[in-house]
Amino acid sequence: MKLHRLAFTLTLPLAVLGGTALAAPAPTAPPAAATRPTAPEPAPANAKLPTPSSAAQKLYSAAKADLLQVRSLLRSGRTQSSVGSGFLVGTSNLVLTNYHVVSQFALDPETYTGEWVDTAGQRGNIELLAVDVLHDLAVVRVNRYGTGVFKLPDGPLKLTQGQYLYSLGNPLDLGFAISEGAYNGVIARTFYDQLMFSGPINSGMSGGPAVTADGEVAGINVSKRLDGELVSFLVPVRYAQELLRRVDPAVKPPQDFTAIVTQQLLAHQKAMVDQLLSGPLTLKTMGPYQVPVRESEQMRCWGQSNAQANARGEKPFAVDNTSCTMESAVFVSDTLQTGQVGIRHQYLRSTGLDRIRFAQLSSASFKNEALGSHGDRRLTGPECTEQFIRTRSLPMRAVMCVRAYRKFAGLYDFTVLTASTDDALMNLQSRLDVRGVSYDNGMRSARAFLQALGREDGR
C-alpha cells in the first residue's frame, strides 16, 4: 500500500535548534506553484518608513525588562544548543516558557543545562520547576525578579475576533522584538485548545508572551503553519495559570523530568483512546467493503482515486484511497512526537490483470508497508504477529506490530495491517497506527478496528 499524504499539518515549534528552526516532523507538502523571484523595486528617494504603532512602542518599552531569552546549553563547554523566549510573571522570579524550549534539559539533564539572558545582556542559570508537555508549557525559576508588567488575568480572558494582540520574543536569535497581529479564535483541529494569532512570530519566539493592548497576557507563542501566511498559534493563558498553581516553590524539583513527562503522556493516551472509542467507528463504503474511520474535529479524512487514469486505459487496475489522521501530536523532544492516531484504507481492483499478476500487484503493495526499524533509538524494533482471521463478514490476512518506547515506560506504538483474501481480482488493504498508547489501549484500538472491517454483502 502506497502512502498518500493527503492531510498535512505543517507546524513549526518556534524554538531555534542549533542555528536552524526546530521543525516538527511533517508529511511532505504538495509542491508549491513555481514562482519567479522578483527584483525589489528601488525605493523613492523621499520614501518614508511606516509609522510605528504607538501601542507596540508603549508595550515594548514597558515590557522589555521582563522579557528573557531561554537557552539550552551543552554542559560540556556551555555551547548553545537551542534558544527560545520566556517572560517573568508579575513581580516574581518565575518565568513562563514552552516545554519544547526546555525539553533538552528536562529529559537529559546530564548533557544539557539552561541559561537566561535579558534585553540588557545580563544572564544567569535557570532552574526547571514544572512542565506541562500536553499544552507545551514550562515554568522555570531565575535569580532576578519581574517588574510586574506581565500580569496573568485572574480568570478567563475575553477576546474578540479581530482584536489586536502583540507578540514578544527573540526571533531567530537576532534580538528582542515585538510584532502586531490579530486574535482569530480558538482553532478546532487540535486535541488541546490553541488560539489562532494572525501575526508574524518566528523561530526563537517560543515561550514569549502575546498580550493585549492593555498588557494582559492572552497566550504564549508556540508554533506557526509553514504552508500559510501569518498563521500562528498561542497556548491559551488559562493553561499557564493552571500550571503556575501546581508549582510549589518550597519543594525541590526533580532533576530529571522523564517520569513526569511519562505520566502526562499516559494521561493523554487514555483521553485520546477513550475519545476514539467513545462510540462505534463510522463505516464508509469502498466498493463492496465497509471500512472504519473516525471523523471528528481532531481527525480528518481525505480521499484519492486513479479511476480516471484507469478509464483512459492508462492503468489495468483501479485504486481508491481513504486516509484519516489526527492533525496534532504531542511534542516530546526534537526527535519524537507522539499521541496520534492514523487510519488508511486502499481498495484495489483489476480491470485488465489476470489473477497471478493482480496477486503480485496486491502482494507488492502489502510488502511495501514500513513498520519501523531495529536501529531506532527512540523505540524498540517491531515485534510482529501474523494470522489469517475472519471478522463478521470478511476473511483477512492480519499483521499486528508493537514497539515499546525506550525512555517512556508503559508507552507503545501499535500498527495493524490487513489485506482481504475474499476475491482473486479485488483487494482491500487497511492500516491502523496508534502512537504512544498503553498496551491495553493499543489492544482495545486494534480489536475495534478489526471488528469493524467487513463486506456489505457478507460473503
Give 275-284 pLDDT, tens digit per residue. Answer: 999 988 999 9
The predicted structure's pLDDT at residue 7 = 29
Buried b (16+ CB within 10 A) or exposed e, 206-231: bbbbbbbeebebbbbbbbbebeeeeb
Q: How far apart are CA 27 and CA 46, in angstroms?
A: 47
- Whether residue 8 has pLDDT greater than 50: no
Can you give 295-333 as a three-state secondary structure string? CCCCEEEEEEECHHHHHCCCCCEEEEEEEEEECCCEEEE
* CB atoms closer than 10 angstroms to residue 380: 15
Q: What percent of the chain has pLDDT over 70?
A: 88
- Whether residue 155 has pLDDT greater than 90: no
With cut-offs at 50, 70 and 90, classify the pLDDT of residue 5: very low
Range with the poorest average pLDDT among 15-19, 158-162, 255-259: 15-19
- Whether residue 84 has pLDDT greater than 70: yes
**Tens digit of pLDDT for each residue in 351-407?**
999 999 999 999 999 999 998 888 899 999 999 999 999 998 999 999 999 999 999
Beta-bridge partners for 347: 320, 428
Beta strands in 104-175 (DSSP E): 112-118, 123-125, 127-132, 137-141, 164-169
- Whether residue 2 has pLDDT greater than 50: no
Q: How far apart are CA 170 and CA 118, in angstroms?
A: 10
Q: How far apart are CA 222 and CA 100, in angstroms?
A: 9
- Whether residue 81 has pLDDT greater than 50: yes
- Whether residue 43 has pLDDT greater than 50: no
Using DSSP's 3-state secondary structure scheme, residue 272 falls into helix
The predicted structure's pLDDT at residue 4 = 36
- Whether residue 87 has pLDDT greater than 90: yes
The predicted structure's pLDDT at residue 18 = 59
CB 452 within 8 A of CB 283: yes
> Rounded mean pLDDT of 287-302?
89
> Rounded mean pLDDT of 20-29?
34
- The set of cell numbers assigned to 391 is 471478522
CB 151 within 8 A of CB 217: yes
- Whether residue 16 has pLDDT greater than 90: no
Residues 6+ apart with CB under 8 A from 340: 325, 326, 328, 329, 330, 433, 435, 436
CB 429 within 8 A of CB 419: yes
Residues 6+ apart with CB under 8 A from 171: 177, 201, 202, 203, 204, 205
Q: Which residue has the cell 493563558?
A: 237
Q: How far is CA 131 from CA 35, 135, 140, 243, 324, in A?
A: 43, 9, 9, 8, 31
Q: Per mean pLDDT, which of 34-43, 148-157, 375-384 is the most reliable?
A: 375-384
Helices 99-107 & 258-276 angle (0-180, nearest 10): 120
Structure-model confidence comparison of residues 54 and 209, the more confident one: 209
Pairing of the two strands 336-338 and 330-333: antiparallel
The predicted structure's pLDDT at residue 32 = 33
What is the chain's mean pLDDT, rounded? 88
Q: Per mean pLDDT, which of 56-60, 293-297, 340-344 is the most reliable?
A: 340-344
Q: What is the dihedral of CA 326, 327, 331, 332, to 10 degrees?
A: 20
The predicted structure's pLDDT at residue 456 = 81
Q: How far apart are CA 211 and CA 166, in angstroms?
A: 5
> Rounded mean pLDDT of 420-445?
97
* Separate counts of helices (H) and strands (E) for the chain: 7, 28
Q: What percent of the chain has pLDDT over 90?
A: 71
**Tens digit of pLDDT for each residue in 225-251?**
888 889 999 999 999 999 999 998 788
Structure-model confidence comparison of residues 13 and 211, the more confident one: 211
Residue 93 parent element (H or E)? none
Residues 6+ apart with CB under 8 A from 84: 14, 15, 16, 69, 70, 97, 98, 100, 101, 102, 169, 170, 204, 205, 206, 207, 208
Q: How far apart are CA 181 and CA 202, in angstroms?
A: 13
Secondary structure letter of residue 392 according to DSSP: S
The predicted structure's pLDDT at residue 392 = 84
What's the number of CA atoms in the CB half-sphere (13 Å) around residue 111? 7
Q: How far apart are CA 142 and CA 92, in angstroms?
A: 9
Q: How far apart are CA 221 and CA 195, in angstroms?
A: 10
CB 192 within 8 A of CB 68: no
The predicted structure's pLDDT at residue 354 = 96
pTM of the entire predicted model: 0.86
Residues 6+ apart with CB under 8 A from 439: 402, 410, 412
The predicted structure's pLDDT at residue 137 = 98
With cut-offs at 50, 70 and 90, classify the pLDDT of residue 299: confident
Largest Cα–Cα distance in the chain? 80
With cut-offs at 50, 70 and 90, classify the pLDDT of residue 169: very high
Q: How far apart are CA 169 and CA 173, in angstroms?
A: 9
The predicted structure's pLDDT at residue 244 = 96
Q: Which amino acid is at 161?
A: Q
The predicted structure's pLDDT at residue 363 = 95
CB 124 within 8 A of CB 204: no
Taken in order 97, 101, 105, 107, the sign of the CA dihedral is positive
